[in-house]
């Protein structure tokens, strides 16, 4: 049976030479398959004498077992190598950023807030914020709204249910309560803007129940209307990116300022496009005035020593004018097509 040793050596060499699972399977079939070399030798046992079978049987069974073990061991090695190659080929470095184009857009209101804050910051103003839910004192009383004023009525203001003492909280109708809170906490000189959301019972093409405002406040000992006019004109030039603006102040009434005015800006219309700073038409742009002495007194400041000016402008209106947006209601429609068209890519 010396040929069994040569057969084993030959099969072992072929097992070791198998480069992959498929080649190894071919070796297994040729050795241990139905018509394999070892299987054919096993078939000869039936033609042997009992004495020959007694000697050859164990040797053939042992050969079959050793070949099977060698094939199994080689298979384990090949599978490990194949897995290692696959892992290397399909490896993904999760520490690298995914190079996908940005899909989000910055809302025009957010963009205008950022622009306004940057312009006034360059003038030395600081940003102050306050709560959306206010009480009567900060929203009305401290701002010189008398009892029975129309702004206090249900049809203008979103009131909450009365408390046990009869008082009612409300959604602020302007960001002026931030001015009140600032004057109560800080000593002049004060130079701030108060950006934020405000709420009123109103809804049409140019009004929504929730809208956005930026109000400004300057309190010092020698502040006057000239300072107010210069500040607002400088802001409009910077915001609309024009060299000159035409403005006019019309007398108006606000409870919290005296004298009060509405500021108009000159503009020209070119089709659907509005050009600020040129032309012979006028557009109301904001309300303003000198802070009323009663407001200073309510906030603990002496009106004989301090005076100041305040102004308020609608951020949504500024966005409509600068970026040609026709309908205010679309600002809040959550339409991805609208934000895709009017929104801004980060970094623009």
Distances 19 to 12, 24, 86, 90, 309 between C-alpha atoms, Å: 13, 7, 16, 21, 87
Helices 315-323 + 225-240 axis angle, to 10: 40
* Residue 203, number of CB atoms within 10 A of its CB: 12
> Can you give the residue ranges of every domain in the chain?
2-89, 108-342
Using the structure block, give the residue that is written with the tokens 């026709």. Answer: 326
Element housing 213 (H / E): strand 210-220
Coil, strand or helix at 169: coil
Question: Tokens in use for 38?
Answer: 């070892």
User: Which residues neighbour 67 within 8 Å (Cβ) at sequence distance 6 or greater?
Assistant: 8, 11, 12, 15, 31, 32, 38
Radius of gyration, alpha carbons of the chain = 43
Residue 196: strand pairing partners: 213
Quick one: CATH architecture of 108-342?
A: 2-Layer Sandwich (3.30)
Task: Write the DSSP string, 110-141.
Answer: HHHHHHHHHHHHHTT-EE----SEE-HHHHTG
Q: Does pTM top 0.75 for this prediction?
A: no
289: closest CA among 269, 327, 262, 314?
262
Q: How far apart are CA 218 and CA 24, in angstroms?
A: 88
Q: What is the pLDDT along the chain (348 residues), one digit of tens a residue?
A: 568 788 888 888 888 888 888 888 888 888 888 888 888 878 887 788 888 777 777 887 887 888 888 888 988 998 999 888 888 888 877 787 766 766 788 999 999 999 999 999 999 999 999 999 999 999 999 999 877 666 666 557 888 998 888 888 999 999 999 999 999 999 999 999 999 999 987 766 666 788 899 999 999 999 999 999 999 999 999 999 999 999 999 999 999 999 999 999 998 887 777 888 777 889 999 999 999 999 999 999 999 999 999 999 999 989 988 998 888 888 888 888 998 899 998 877
């Amino acid at each position: 049976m010396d040929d069994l040793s040569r057969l084993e050596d030959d099969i072992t060499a072929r097992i070791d030479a198998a480069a992959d699972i498929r080649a190894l399977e071919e070796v297994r079939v040729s050795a241990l398959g139905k018509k394999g070399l070892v299987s054919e030798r096993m078939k000869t046992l039936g033609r042997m004498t009992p004495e020959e079978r007694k000697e050859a049987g164990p040797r053939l069974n042992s050969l079959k077992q050793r070949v099977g073990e060698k094939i199994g061991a080689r298979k384990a090695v090949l599978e490990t190598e194949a897995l290692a190659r696959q892992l290397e080929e399909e490896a993904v470095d999760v520490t690298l950023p995914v190079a996908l184009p940005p899909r989000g857009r910055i809302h025009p209101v957010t963009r205008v807030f950022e622009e306004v804050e940057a312009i006034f910051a360059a003038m030395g103003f600081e940003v102050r914020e306050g709560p959306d839910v206010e009480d009567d004192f900060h929203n009305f009383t401290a701002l010189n709204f008398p009892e029975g004023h129309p702004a206090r009525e249900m049809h203008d203001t979103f009131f909450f249910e009365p408390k046990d003492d009869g008082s009612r909280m409300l959604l602020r109708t302007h960001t002026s309560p931030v001015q009140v809170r600032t004057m109560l906490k800080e000593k002049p000189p004060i130079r701030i803007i108060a950006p934020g959301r405000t709420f009123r019972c109103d809804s049409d093409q140019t009004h929504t129940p929730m809208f956005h405002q930026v109000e400004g406040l300057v309190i010092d000992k020698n502040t006057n209307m000239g300072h107010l006019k210069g500040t607002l004109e400088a802001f409009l030039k910077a915001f609309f990116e024009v060299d000159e603006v035409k403005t006019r102040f019309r007398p108006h009434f606000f409870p919290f300022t005296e004298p009060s005015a509405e500021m108009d800006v000159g503009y020209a219309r070119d089709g659907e496009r509005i050009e600020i700073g040129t032309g012979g038409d006028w557009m109301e742009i904001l309300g303003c005035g000198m802070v009323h002495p009663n407001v200073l007194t309510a906030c603990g400041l002496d009106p004989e020593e301090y005076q100041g000016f305040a102004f308020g402008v609608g951020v949504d209106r500024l966005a409509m004018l600068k970026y040609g947006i026709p309908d205010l209601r679309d600002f809040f429609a959550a339409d991805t097509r609208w934000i895709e068209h009017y929104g801004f890519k980060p970094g623009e």
